[in-house]
Amino acid sequence: MNVEIELSTESVIKAVSGILINGDMGISFKGISTDTRIIKPGYLFFALKGEKFDGHEFYKDAIEKGAKGMVISYFPKGFRVEEIPKTISVILVKDTLKALGDLASYWRDKLNSTFVAITGSCGKTTTKELTYNIISRFFKTAKNQANYNNLIGVPLSLLSIKEDTEVAILELGTNQKGEIERLSQIVKPHISVITSIYPSHLEGLNSIEGVLEEKTSLFKNTWEKGTIIYNFDQEILRKRAESFPQNKISFGFDKKADLSFKDLVFSENKIKGVIVFKEKTYPLEIENIGKHNLLNLLAGLCSAISLGLNLKEIVPLIEKEIPLYKRFKILEKKNIFIIDDTYNANPGSTKAALEYLKEISRNKKKVVILGDMKELGNESEKLHREIGGLVAEIVDFAIFTGEMAKSYEEGFKEKNQDKNCKIFNSVEEFLENFSFKEIIKEKAIILIKGSRALKMERIVERLLKELS
């Protein structure tokens, strides 16, 4: 990723506690890059080391493409300081990834912005986008693009924020212990949101308690006079939130939440209901984005309230003007509705998708195609069986694919021996051996979901082809 930002060698060295081994303090940079394939002349190159590539190995490419500086943590093979032009600053640090975060923290402290940080087991991106769509109507607002929510993406997103930004909304993700702690220390949020706590990334976080500890480290690093926002419906999160000193706003379907819904009515295309906040009510009618996304909308409204905005002004805009972001896509062809939710999957988001399928099915045959939910560690078989059982209660026909297909099937059969399901060991095996002809003979709604690693969008593409 490239970030356009004006920085001097001196300011970078101060921010990252680096040592200048070539060039001089007066050399300035037009931007920052972590990728020599797209780096621009005049940029500072951060040599990051990943699982597959080590940026240090591409230092010559950075020089050839006009880089004015580089941040490194060791001398790569063939590197000789005396051969580097004196017009290029070379900054040595202990850890280039930490240095990138330190530089982002330095830049954050220069900004006179209000920072909103969002994390959770699922709903992070949807909440970020909904929050941005609301708040950007009232303030000059920035956000991280796509899923730049990790130890590389968040610092680069921070460094891309312009000095006239009033509100910055940043999604923070994790798959290992300590990542939210580090990211929240960099961002130093004024307002923090936790959307949900579910079993996810258990290979790195071990248990639901580990997930809770990881996510709530965001609250620990939120400004003491700031606001923390949390899902009231989840007891495990509600109890933990009570222990923090900041101002609090809760959201949920429970009427005891600070911000909630009542009188909800779902139809195939619409949701009607009433938002309740401090005993005041605000009628709302919007497209059917799914019950789970109503919680993400409430979380976004909590952030707006924390910034001093008025629901009386916001709610009519939601009905008429503000785009309602949702992660999944609804595709319709002939008599078939397809819910394309192939971006990713964990137990929380999969349950939400199944609930949405149930809400909008309306006399259509319900079909689910589920792939593995990755990174669940020792709990994987159990959690896949649980989801398989839930599928059996909702759908008419199910297909399970991937390494955990058998566990899905076991849960499915435990709940209902009479319903049909098929299993495949991989998406490739499914695509080679299955035809949609039987499913698409009648009116049906098909949910397709699985972890990103399975690339289940290929199933959507096949289905659309067969419907052509």
Binding site members for ATP? 120-126
Structure tokens at 351: 């349950």
Helix (H, G, I), strand (E, B) or coil at 19: strand
| DSSP 8-state secondary structure symbol assigned to residue 6 | E
392 by Cβ neighbours in 10 Å (0-12 / 13-18 / 19+) ranks as: buried
Structure tokens at 54: 């080590």
Return all residues near 246 (Cβ < 8 A) that are at least 6 apart: 192, 219, 222, 223, 224, 225, 226, 227, 228
CA–CA distance, 107 with 102 (Å, rounded to integer): 9
CA–CA distance, 285 with 466 (Å, rounded to integer): 36
With CA atoms as reference, report the closest residue to 110 among 190, 33, 165. 165
C-beta separation of 154 from 144 below 8 A: yes
Q: Which long-range contacts (CB under 8 A, 24 or more apart) does 349-354 make?
A: 349/121, 349/122, 349/123, 349/198, 349/449, 350/387, 350/449, 351/387, 351/390, 352/122, 352/290, 352/291, 352/292, 353/290, 353/292, 353/328, 353/447, 353/449, 354/387, 354/390, 354/391, 354/394, 354/447
Binding site, by residue number, is: 120-126
Return all residues near 338 (Cβ < 8 A) that are at least 6 apart: 330, 331, 332, 445, 446, 448, 460, 463, 464
In degrees, to the nearest 5, what angle opens at C-alpha 190 toward C-alphas 186 and 192? 85
What is the Cα 329 distance to its own chain's centre?
A: 16
Residue 145 phi, psi (nearest 5):
-80, 150
**For the CA atoms of 253, 256, 261, 263, what is the dihedral angle to 10 degrees?**
100
CA–CA distance, 341 with 349 (Å, rounded to integer): 10
CA–CA distance, 63 with 58 (Å, rounded to integer): 9
Q: Are strands 167-171 and 191-194 parallel, antiparallel or unpaired?
A: unpaired
